[in-house]
Amino acid sequence: MTPKAEFDRRSFLKATLVAGGALVFGISMPTLTRAEEKLGIPVEPAADFHPNAFIKIAPDGKVTVVVGQAEMGQGVLTSLPMIVADELEVDWKNVTFEHGPPGKEFINPALGGQITGGSASIRGLIGPLRKSAASAREMLVAAAAQQWNVPAAECRALNGEVFHPTSRRTAKYGTLLAAAAKIAPPAEPKLKDAKDFKFIGKSVKRLDTPEKVNGTGIFGMDVKVPGMLTATIMRSPVIGGKVNSFNDTKAKAVKGVRNVVKLDSGVAVVADNYWTAKKGRDALTVTWDAGAMAGVSSQKLYEADVASAANAKGVEAKKIGDIAIGKTKAAKTIEAVYWAPYLAHATMEPMNATADVRADSCEVWSGIQAQMVVQGMVAKELGLAPEKVKVNNTLLGGGFGRRLGDYVMDAVRLSKAVGKPVKVIWTREDDMDGDFFRPSAYNKMSAGVDAAGKPVFWQHRIVSPSIMAALGPGLFGFAPPPDRLDDTAVEGANNLPYDVQNLYVDWVDNKPGVPVGFWRSVGSSHTAFSTECFLDELAHTAGKDPLAFRLSLLDKHPRHAGVLKLAAEKAGWSKPAPKGIHRGIAVHESFGSYVAQVAEVSVDKKTGKVKVHRIVCAIDCGQVVNPDTVKAQMDSCIVFGLTAAFYGEITIKDGRVEQRNFYDYKMLRMNETPKIETYIVPSNEPHGGVGEPGTPPTAPAVVNAIFAATGKRIRSLPIRTDELKEKA
């Protein structure tokens, strides 16, 4: 990952402005966009100044928090304003939000960029937001103190007012704006004591729920711009294929089709509306150069992984002691291969973007997880200065690491080609074909225990593609050298918490030619499966209870042990399960949070069908901002993890992705969703993430429960009922 960005307090707070009667704390940003005007976003009274900033206070006391992160269901449009509201001392009913534009002021220090990912929004931004709000609060207090000619130390802020206890005078924030604007921001504003929090740590209803329920929320698919055309693109059916030639006669004959344009990504049909564009695309005749992936199949890729695991030189990820010595001490040894397949993101809202390219500027509307990256990509493509590219972020209908901006470039190129605003819409099939996938992972593992059942060695080789080699140059400006470790491939394996005397983890980059990228919980999405299931195998080999075995190896990791104990207690691990129900357990740390889950399952012996009845989840994510969000995200993570465990698999035949839509890339249905219970560990530790850490333990907890039910080990995902049928 890139080094953490230096967070410059002066640049963060230097613009303290009065515009149209509103006091603005934070940064000066571009004027309102054409999209904002079209979509009816309120315009500031001053016609020549429309700032965007982190905090805006209007004369009526309303506070607007500008959120530079993307909202894709994880709740940042509520949790980040909660932080500001608490430190600013305002009434929650007077707080609202706006989507923020690209800007260095919105860089997340935890990631080094304006990126929504890595479960880092609160982790990276709570400090800067609290300081910004505290600074604003102190400026308002100072303004009131000056007016009353009393020491600021005698005044305090409360519910959007400044109060002087001695004289009983009060002043609403809205009356202090002009005076506060003349006061220099304090160098080190005093932050509230945690015991005085009104919102942080409390469950608060989400601010974005009403607009999502009543249909007024704007997603990328909803954007409409005057004069806009709509396009859809025929892409190569083979991964990486290119257009050889095409015949567009029939496409152009479709009423409403305006243009047919060849792009690097395929052939685009631009029309008055989507269905016309789709009809025109269906009428195209295209011949393709299939390229290097022609003839490549999932079987061939798997065979290459097997060969790499056996013969390739790996890059060391973690070494403790000496594996060779450990093997000599082993009374019992086990070996296994765990396999996790390629996975699609399958966001409910397919990729889409709208662009309006003009002679000296460009404006973009889309749901994007990396606004500054997209701004830079567009600027480079058009030869513009970045500030000439306006990026309007919308709500995202699912992100999971997919919405990093490649799809925006199609809209930009088409708008430039036809001279009008163009919205590009991907079909669901486009979305499956054109995804970059969660990498597959081939895990070759061996371990041993001594006569007392204590692990004496653990060896783990991971064969998997490099995400950073694929996305690093465009997203972070660098990629790891070919002989260097990509941490995204081994996270969750190279920080194994269990006390093992001799441990060795290495990684082989298999370079399969399949596009790969970030997927919810990244490397931990597959390393938790391999490590927690193999650890369960080792417990069985040692003749130990899976929970007791884990706890015996976690003396140095009390937070892992804490969530294990809590999940086990709430699930009744020490008590017999109901008849026909069997339990499995798993624990994993990712993105600064610790999650344990107990799954309760039953398996039909005749059909092999697995039913998950209940999942008990315990999370230690440090200090909590909104407990309701934490629980909602655990629900989301678990459903996401169950979907992958039972249905998720991208397969390739003749270089083509075989899965087309939700009929063959299935989602977990409501009737398949188990009862989910989430328990939060009270903690004063630093904030951890919650958008991803709940996914990794789900599959291993279920698979370990299946073993308890059947005595059969599932070492390859997705779970296949044929493997669990009782043989006749």
DSSP SS3 for 375: helix
More confident residue, 53 or 676: 676
More confident residue, 180 or 727: 180
pLDDT at res. 479: 86
Round the average pLDDT of the chain to a whole number and report it: 92
| pLDDT score of 34 more than 80 | no
- Could you tell me the fold of the domain covering 9-207? Aldehyde Oxidoreductase; domain 4 (3.30.365)
Task: Output the CA–CA distances (angstroms, integers) from residue 420 to 225, 503, 642, in the order listed.
Answer: 10, 60, 44
For residue range 216-265, list pLDDT tens digits in order.
999 999 999 999 999 999 999 999 999 999 999 999 999 999 999 999 99
For residue range 403-454, list pLDDT tens digits in order.
999 999 999 999 999 999 999 999 999 999 999 999 999 999 999 999 999 9
| pLDDT score of 35 more than 70 | no
pLDDT at res. 9: 28
DSSP SS3 for 326: helix
Average pLDDT over every residue of 22-30 = 42
Average pLDDT over every residue of 528-547 = 98
Confidence of residue 46 (pLDDT cuts 50, 70, 90): very low
Cis peptide before 558 (omega within 30 of 0): no
Average pLDDT over every residue of 55-69 = 92
- C-alpha to C-alpha distance for 403 and 71, rounded to whole angstroms: 12
Residue 336: phi, psi to the nearest 5? -160, 155
Q: Among all chains, which residue has been given the structure tokens 């003839």?
A: 295
Average pLDDT over every residue of 301-314 = 97
For residue range 93-131, list pLDDT tens digits in order.
999 999 999 999 999 999 999 999 999 999 999 999 999
Average pLDDT over every residue of 608-631 = 98
Considering the chain, tell me which residue range(s) the CATH 3.30.365.10 domain(s) occupy. 9-207, 220-291+351-425, 298-343+437-724
Above pLDDT 90, what percent of the chain?
A: 88
Average pLDDT over every residue of 57-79 = 94
- C-alpha to C-alpha distance for 576 and 564, rounded to whole angstroms: 18
The CATH code of the domain at 220-291+351-425 is 3.30.365.10
DSSP string computed for 427-485: -HHHHHHTPPBBPPEEEEEEEEE-TTS-EEEEEEEEE---HHHHHHHHHTS----TTS-
For residue range 131-161, list pLDDT tens digits in order.
999 999 999 999 999 999 999 999 999 999 9
Q: Which residues contact 400 (CB under 8 A, 6 or more apart)?
A: 72, 345, 347, 518, 519, 520, 640
The CATH code of the domain at 298-343+437-724 is 3.30.365.10
